[in-house]
Structure 1
Amino acid sequence: MSVQRLFILAMAIVSSSASAEWISEQAEIMGTRVSVTLWHTDQTRGQAAVDKVMTEMRRIDNAYSPYRPDSDLSQMNSMAGQSGAPALSISPEMTQLLDKSLFYGELTNGAFDITFASLARHYDYRDKKTPTEAQRQALLPAIDFRHITLDREQQTVRYQHPAVYVDLGGIAKGYAVDRAVSLLQQQGISQASVSAGGDSRVLGNRRGRPWMVGIKQPRGDAGIAITLPLSDTAISTSGDYERFFINDSGERVHHIVNPQTGKSTDTLASVTILGPSAFDTDALSTSVFVLGQERGLALIESLPNFDAIIIDRAGQVHYSSGLMPPQ
């Protein structure tokens, strides 16, 4: 090879290395902070990939936000429970979300229940308001995922109780994170991190080193309780510190509601689930939080490829067997 051709090749390698970089962006979507970080050898194409992720996140928010009156979810809540009306036609994506939600409802015997909002939507954590006792008595019977009749083949849904109200907040963010990772993979990206609030997924590693993902300290000043080295893993954390207030009795009233009581679950402070997909870890972190330490860990031990880290209200940390430190 001539000296000239060697020089041209060397310059091409240098130019390619110089343009390769980490690209990051954050935005407020789905009522939380969405973050994307990825490595790409071309800044323009890398930024385009980030833009696609943010566009997809906004699309999912527009479709499944309970706070948007024109969202698919709001339309379903207003129409699926109408007496005498035919079953409501829904999108393939909504069918997928409901199917997964009902699966976890069955698996956890109702610890995960997307109809929890039939009562829980009357909480206001900013104004420190809880449902009245009359509302609790009237609406608690509406909390039961079995009130949802889903026809997966026909892609229709019907509510069997007129007061049913569905909220997908315990599963939609995980779904969105998986969708974002899938979009990145389709564009040939193999090193990235995507998060939406407490739900994250890391793709590949961080240039030969693991991604370092922190689990927040649930009490006291902001800080990290545990740091995990991860690659190709989804991780979701549910905590009683995300949306809460302390009532006049000194009780912590937070957004993770026990479907059986309609009240905040009161034994754990934080649950983190690791697994292959955020669609699953999102639902499982809520499920384990409601089930409590003993039953929650038993559930995770029964599922291959999933692990759990639980921090109880006394600050003690409990691990599933796959994460137990060596004795």
Structure 2
Amino acid sequence: MYLFSLKAKLALIILSLFISFDVDCKWISHSFEVMGTQSTIEFEVPSEKIAPKTLQLVIDEMHRIDALMSPFKPTSELSKINRLASTTPIHISKELYDLLVKSADFSKLTEGAFDISFSSVGYLYDYRNSVKPTQKQIENLKKNINYRSIRLNKKNQTVKFLQPLVKIDLGGIAKGYAVDQCIQILKDNGVVNAYVSAGGDSRIIGKKDNRLWYIGIKHPRDKKRLLVNLPLEEVSISTSGDYERFFEKDGVRYHHIIDPKTGDSARGLQSVTILAPSSTTADALSTSVFVLGLNKGLKLVNGLADTSAILVDSQGRLHYSDDIARLE
């Protein structure tokens, strides 16, 4: 116990020394790798004394969620589900159970465009090595992509797969959830002005030096350009695009946003940005709208309260949800 406490104190001292170079006008900024992407934390320091501890709490939370929900870590609770849930109901933590319930809710809302069982085929794609499943593999496994095959039992807090080869992946919602959790930690520690991001998912609270935050959306075909730079406050932003994890083969782009109906990469859009009250919601909706495509995606967003969208179609043209279009 003493050794753990000593290690924790040393970690905070080292972190304090490291971040002291990033403190500017009582602001702290720190970036690190987690959940297979880069995460950034920026917040105004309510007290310089608690700043290193507060930052470490947020960093630890990101790594905790990654350890719980990563499909790539054999020791994660999600990996345990993928190994065993096809044979027997698996009792899981309330936190993971609640996120599976929320995922099912988004599946129903989007009529299956959001489906965490996409991984039943999606796990065969290797974007680093330009590997994709054969059409025969897709056809054989595609029937396992069905959110209705994930049986949740609230009373026993268990999950069971109704098909033998189902695999799930929370890549379309977990990073957004992690951002929300980290924002809550900052709030609990007295922070009122902050920005937290994990890959394409971010959330802002308060303001930046008494001004609105400016959040840039990447151009999907030009890394050096921003599509738009939005003045925002108190909102979550999630961007899903075909340009982050992809490869091209025979003139076809294969990327990580899988259409549950086909087992293949969704096509028709290059990028979707969603603005919503929570990062969990924005994350799930950006994936869903990308799969739904231009017309169905905008129809979904236009029917939701406090939700906005910016879409880039396959030709690079911009499209907006009705609330944004009215501002032009």
> Which residue does 2:57 correspond to in 1?
52
Mapped contact 1:35–1:194 kept (Cα < 8 A): yes
> In 1, distance between residues paired with 2:233 and 2:51?
20
> In 2, distance between residues paired with 1:163 and 1:25?
40
> In 1, distance between residues paired with 2:101 and 2:34?
24
**Which stretch has the larger CA shift, 152-161 or 139-148?**
152-161
Mapped contact 1:256–1:290 kept (Cα < 8 A): yes
CA deviation string 1:37-68 (max 9, x = no partner): 00014223122211100000000000111110
> Which residue does 2:314 correspond to in 1?
313
Mapped contact 2:46–2:190 kept (Cα < 8 A): no
CA deviation string 1:239-268 (max 9, x = no partner): 0001011112x0111111100000111100
**Is 1:98 aligned to residue 103 of structure 2?**
no
Q: Which runs of 5+ in 2 are unaligned?
A: 1-22
> Which residue does 2:75 correspond to in 1?
70
Question: Which structure would you say has the larger Rg?
Answer: 1
Note the C-alpha offset of 1:220: 2.6
Note the C-alpha offset of 1:222: 2.5
After TM superposition, what 4+ stretches of structure 1 lie above 6 angstroms from structure 2? Answer: none
> In 1, distance between residues paired with 2:154 and 2:294?
33
* Secondary structure of 1:323's aligned partner: helix
> Which residue does 1:299 correspond to in 2?
300
CA pair 20-215 structure 1, distance change in 2 beyond 3 A: closer
Mapped contact 2:46–2:191 kept (Cα < 8 A): no
* Secondary structure of 2:50's aligned partner: helix
For residue 36 of structure 1, what is the amino acid of its counterpart? I
Please show how residues 1-327 of structure 1 align to structure 2 within 5 Å. 21-82=26-87, 85=88, 87-248=89-250, 250-326=251-327
Mapped contact 2:127–2:246 kept (Cα < 8 A): yes
* Secondary structure of 1:115's aligned partner: helix
> Which residue does 1:13 correspond to in 2?
none
> In 2, distance between residues paired with 1:242 and 1:153?
40
Mapped contact 1:202–1:232 kept (Cα < 8 A): yes
Q: How many residues of Structure 1 are paired with residues of Structure 2 in the alignment? A: 306
CA pair 184-217 structure 1, distance change in 2 beyond 3 A: same
CA pair 20-46 structure 1, distance change in 2 beyond 3 A: farther
* Secondary structure of 1:43's aligned partner: coil
For residue 325 of structure 2, what is the amino acid of its counterpart? M
Q: What's the C-alpha RMSD, in Å, of the aligned pairs?
A: 1.3
CA deviation string 1:277-327 (max 9, x = no partner): 001000000000000010001001111010000011211111111112545
TM-score between the two structures when normalised by the length of structure 2: 0.91
> In 2, distance between residues paired with 1:169 and 1:133?
23
Note the C-alpha offset of 1:19: 9.3
Note the C-alpha offset of 1:153: 3.2
For residue 74 of structure 2, what is the amino acid of its counterpart? P
**Which stretch has the larger CA shift, 219-228 or 28-37?**
219-228
CA pair 194-221 structure 1, distance change in 2 beyond 3 A: closer
CA deviation string 1:93-148 (max 9, x = no partner): 01111011000111111100000000011011111111122311210000000000
* Secondary structure of 1:94's aligned partner: helix
> In 1, distance between residues paired with 2:324 and 2:234?
16
Note the C-alpha offset of 1:221: 3.7
Mapped contact 2:246–2:253 kept (Cα < 8 A): yes
Mapped contact 1:20–1:41 kept (Cα < 8 A): no
> In 2, distance between residues paired with 1:269 and 1:153?
42
Q: Which runs of 5+ in 1 are unaligned?
A: 1-17
**Which stretch has the larger CA shift, 39-48 or 114-123?**
39-48
* Secondary structure of 1:235's aligned partner: strand
For residue 259 of structure 1, what is the amino acid of its counterpart? P
> In 2, distance between residues paired with 1:113 and 1:47?
38
> In 2, distance between residues paired with 1:243 and 1:223?
18
> In 2, distance between residues paired with 1:256 and 1:143?
14
CA pair 19-242 structure 1, distance change in 2 beyond 3 A: closer
For residue 227 of structure 2, what is the amino acid of its counterpart? A
Mapped contact 1:236–1:282 kept (Cα < 8 A): yes
> In 2, distance between residues paired with 1:107 and 1:252?
28
For residue 293 of structure 1, what is the amino acid of its counterpart? L
> In 2, distance between residues paired with 1:222 and 1:269?
16
